Structure 1
Amino acid sequence: MRIVLVGPPGAGKGTQATRLAEQLRVPHISTGDLFRANISQQTELGKLAKSYMDAGNLVPDEVTIAMAKERMEQPDAEGGFLLDGFPRNVSQAEALDELLTTESMKLDAVLDLEAPEEEVVKRIAGRRICRNDSAHVFHETYKKPAKDGVCDVCGGELYQRDDDSEDTVRKRLEVYHTQTEPIIDYYKAQGLVVTISAMGPVDEVTQRALEALKREDDGQ
């Protein structure tokens, strides 16, 4: 299957993308991973992207699209892929359609993870990260440490990342509503959108998504 995963920040896209890609046996193609890989390997696209980032500018769509194109052309993506973080706006969605048409391919579904805005803010703003190891993540509501401000694993200090402050989260949501959310209507016009709730335990959301995708696949 060829799937695009969309949803607001805090809906659990990264977690679900990894789990769904494993279950569906397709590569998880994340724009964040693409940027990091191209920059660390110092590819031409990576150098170009870094030049924009170092100048404090957004990386142009054509650079992001070129990175995604290269990744989707790799052998492990022949049987399908799951795109996470791309397309991020309607112009990228149009470019993806053109690319897939050129390659005689098409999307099977656009999985839309829905979560109430206040829940999203609560999820992100409540996160606390260990200064010693960023893999040690706690939450003020959902995963409290035994001692406030102290990592249960190594005893390191827990802190809130600047990106996780409530004001920043609300600004990120504004960007999502303005730039990314319109692609849902774009894909609805093509009959591709499958919407599920991102609320509840991670396993339940994964199962909900797999069942919804199977129904979509069976109906085509």
Structure 2
Amino acid sequence: MTRLLLIGPPGAGKGTQAERLSEAFAVPAVSTGDIFRYNVKNDTELGLQVKAFMDAGAYVPDSLTNAIVSDRLQQEDAVDGFLLDGYPRTQDQVHELDRLLEADNGALDAVVLIVADTEEVVARLLKRAAEQGRADDTADVIRHRLAVYEEQTAPLIDIYSSRGLVVTVDGLGAVDEVTGRILDALAERGLSVPVASGDAASAS
């Protein structure tokens, strides 16, 4: 059973690495963003609540986010492990995740922190914005998003660092190289993947 948390700034390649780690460890990648979009698209009860906040330009409150994640982690495919991407984002969410895991007599195995040079991330996101026609994603907007990330995430990193869970990996370079760094760092903590899975993740 493997339980991982992936943290990293916008543009650090977190989504791509989440997919690769999910495949390597044969656990579902649980992204709050994906869950929100799924529930909104399918007009579920939770989705309607999320949409109301999003339409108002407000943050989805911790209580609703916690309920959505709790529901997802209780689904059958997450029983034997998971990889969290985008949750927790606040200290209250950290405490709620602790409660959920303790109720199942479990705990996180590691927190993978992907770091990247700010200027490189800005350049990467500007390129993505141009390719996807996102005129609103200016350098100033991107820098603000990165500043908010740093402000919100620093306390979480401190919490998990104090528990000895944080594995820091350089997110710059080829995708394969970053995946390899993460797998090597996790292996040093005793979290090795089956040979076939590891080779597939590195070679894909």
Query: When the two structures are superposed, what TM-score results if normalisation uses the length of structure 2?
Result: 0.88
Residue 129 of structure 1: how far off its partner (Å): 5.1
State whether structure 2 residue 106 is matched by structure 1 residue 97: no
Matched-pair contact (CA < 8 Å) for 1:90–1:180: no
> How has the CA–CA distance of structure 1 residues 46 and 111 changed in structure 2, closer, same or farther, with 3 Å as cutoff?
same
2 CA distance for matches of 1:218 and 1:94?
A: 24
After the TM superposition, which residues 1-220 of structure 1 pair with which residues of structure 2 at under 5 Å, given as runs? 1-128=2-129, 159-162=133-136, 164-217=137-190
Task: Give the match for residue 139 of structure 1.
Answer: none
Identical amino acids, percent of aligned pairs: 50
Q: Give the counterpart letter for 1:52 in structure 2.
A: F
Q: Which deviations, in whole Å up to 9, do the C-alpha atoms of 1:19-74 show, x marking residues without a partner?
A: 11111111011111100111122222111111111222111011111111111111
* 2:24 counterpart letter in structure 1: Q
CA distance in structure 2 between the partners assigned to 1:76 and 1:172 by the alignment: 32
User: In the alignment, what sits opposite 1:140?
Assistant: none
1:218 is displaced (CA, Å) by 5.3
Which one has more relative contact order, counting CA pairs under 8 Å at least 6 apart?
2
Which structure is higher in helix share?
2
Q: Which runs of 4 or more aligned residues in structure 1 lie more than 4 Å from their structure 2 counterparts after TM superposition?
A: none
What is the CA RMSD across the aligned residues, in angstroms? 1.6
1:217, distance to aligned residue in structure 2 (A): 2.6
Corresponding residue for residue 146 of structure 1: none
Residue aligned with 1:98, SS: helix
Number of paired residues?
Answer: 191
- Structure 1 distance, partners of 2:4, 2:39, is 23
Q: TM-score, normalised by structure 1?
A: 0.82
How far 1:128 sits from its partner (Å)? 4.7
Superposed CA offset, 1:160-210 (max 9, x none): 442x32111101011101112221111011111011111110001001101
How many angstroms does 1:126 deviate by? 2.2
* Structure 1: tracts of 5 or more residues without a match: 135-158
Change beyond 3 A, Cα 1:193–1:36:
same
